[in-house]
Amino acid sequence: MDIDKLLWLYKTMVRSRYMEEALLNLYRQGKVPGTLHLSIGQEATEVGVIAAMQKGDLLLATYRSHCPALAIGIHPKYIISEVLGKASGVCGGIGGSMHLSEPQLGLIFTSAIVASQIPVAAGIGYALRYLKRDNVVVVFVGDGGVNNGDFHEGLNFAAILNAPVVVVIVNNQYAISMPVHKSTKVKDLATKAIAYGIEGIIVDGMNPIEVYTKAKEAIEKVRSNKTPILIEAKTYRFLGHYAGDVDQPYRSKEEVEEWKKRDPILYLRNIIKEKGFESKILEIEAEAEKEIADAVEFALNSPYPEESKMFENLW
């Protein structure tokens, strides 16, 4: 893989990590309203897939989407502002941390009703083909979302409608406290593809290079064949389900530590370093640090929306 791509993957993961660490800090200071779901640990999956998308490709995702939002091009200052409910947020502070949307950049919306985005992706995929656009729609769902009826109906629709949909299961091993092996008897979630007569592939979700390479291949195949593909990325969330989930009685500290050894950011950092680009790494890290500090400053100093705003856009 060329160095520019590697550096982009690294930079995007680092920016996301710093942004989410800053959000966690704000949460601990009591400055974040509502709840906060962080992607820390699973950045390789989210960034790797989005890196494989082309201009005009579309994305639907979940309430755990600060990282995908940043990767698709939304500036962190607008993401942090949205989390804080500020007028400068990407959705004017109306949506909040779980409901992000920037169709201009490809992000249609993120859904906080588990799996409900999947049938919508089937419809978007159908429309893309109908409108003769050479684009695909990528949709993220968690390992827990796989067991919801909407997953089944959405995949079947995408398949029979020959809709260019790439369904990415972000298998971070848990749905809140429910380990994936207790929520299904299926060992590899990718095999669920068989039920819809489509292809299912497994990727190492901790390896950004593998995610990117395999997602790229899948996305291009879907683009030309107009048949959905199901990708299961095996990954891990390092933190609790939401920022307030500290005790995590459903998993052991050892297990978490074991997965942390596979931190995708450290992994890619070493690879780039070995290729002799350490100075680039330091540059990226320094820039990201400043960018995020400025973004937090911007968000904290932004005003809240006017009351009249909450009455807009209902129809």
Partner 1 sequence: MVKMGRIVTFASALNEALYEEMERDERVILLGEDIGVFGGVYKVTKGLLEKFGPSRVIDTPISEEGIIGTAIGMAIMGLKPVAEIMYPDFLPVCMNQLVNNAVKIKYMSNGKVSSPIVVRTCIIQGRGSGATHSQVLIPIFMHIPGFQVIAPSNPYDAKGLLKSAIRSERVTLFFENVVLYQKKGEIPDGEYTIPIGSAEIKRKGKDVTITCFSSTVDIVLNAALKLEKEGIECEVIDLRTLWPLDEKTIIESVKKTGRIVTVENSWGVCGVGSEIITRVCEKAIDYLLAPPVRISPPHIPEPASPALVKKYVLSEDKVIDGIKKVIEYG
Ligand X SMILES: Cc1ncc(C[n+]2csc(CCOP(=O)(O)OP(=O)(O)O)c2C)c(N)n1
| Crossing angle for the helix pair 3-28 and 278-301, to the nearest 10 degrees | 40
Write down the residue that tokens 């400053």 correspond to.
297
Residue 99 vs 223, nearer CB to partner 1: 99
SS3 breakdown of the chain: % helix, strand, coil, rounded to 5?
50, 15, 35
Q: How far is the CB of 25 from partner 1 (least distance, A)?
A: 18
- Sheet bearing 58-62, strands edge to edge: 107-111, 58-62, 137-142, 165-171, 229-234, 199-204
Residue 6 vs 146, nearer CB to ligand X: 146
Q: How far is the CB of 174 from Mg ion (least distance, A)?
A: 5
Per-residue x/- marks for ligand X, 18-57, CB under 6 A?
Answer: ----------------------------------------
Residue 143 vs 204, nearer CB to Mg ion: 143
What is the C-alpha separation between 35 and 96, in angstroms, rounded?
A: 9
Residue 64 partner contact from partner 1, Mg ion, ligand X, none using kind-dependent CB cut-offs of 5 to 8 Å: ligand X
> How many positions of this chain bind ligand X (CB under 6 A)?
15
Q: How far is the CB of 7 from ligand X (least distance, A)?
A: 27
Q: Does 244 bind ligand X (CB under 6 A)?
A: no
What is the C-alpha separation between 289 and 14, in angstroms, rounded?
A: 9
Per-residue x/- marks for ligand X, 61-80, CB under 6 A?
Answer: -x-x----------------
Q: Does 212 bind ligand X (CB under 6 A)?
A: no
Q: How far is the CB of 248 from partner 1 (least distance, A)?
A: 9
Contact positions with ligand X (CB under 6 A) in 117-156: 142-145
Q: How far is the CB of 213 from Mg ion (least distance, A)?
A: 23
Close Cβ partners of 223 (under 8 Å, ≥ 6 residues apart):
54, 134, 135, 136, 164
Residues 41 and 235 sit within 8 Å (Cβ to Cβ): yes
CA distances 218 to 29, 105, 177, 207, Å, are 42, 21, 31, 16
Per-residue x/- marks for Mg ion, 124-143, CB under 5 A?
Answer: ------------------xx
Contact positions with ligand X (CB under 6 A) in 158-187: 170, 172, 174-176
Indicate which single residue of 79, 114, 265, 296 sits in contact with ligand X (rule: CB under 6 A): 114
Close Cβ partners of 312 (under 8 Å, ≥ 6 residues apart):
none
Residue 184 partner contact from Mg ion, partner 1, ligand X, none using kind-dependent CB cut-offs of 5 to 8 Å: partner 1
Close Cβ partners of 90 (under 8 Å, ≥ 6 residues apart):
69, 74, 78, 79, 81, 82, 100, 101, 102
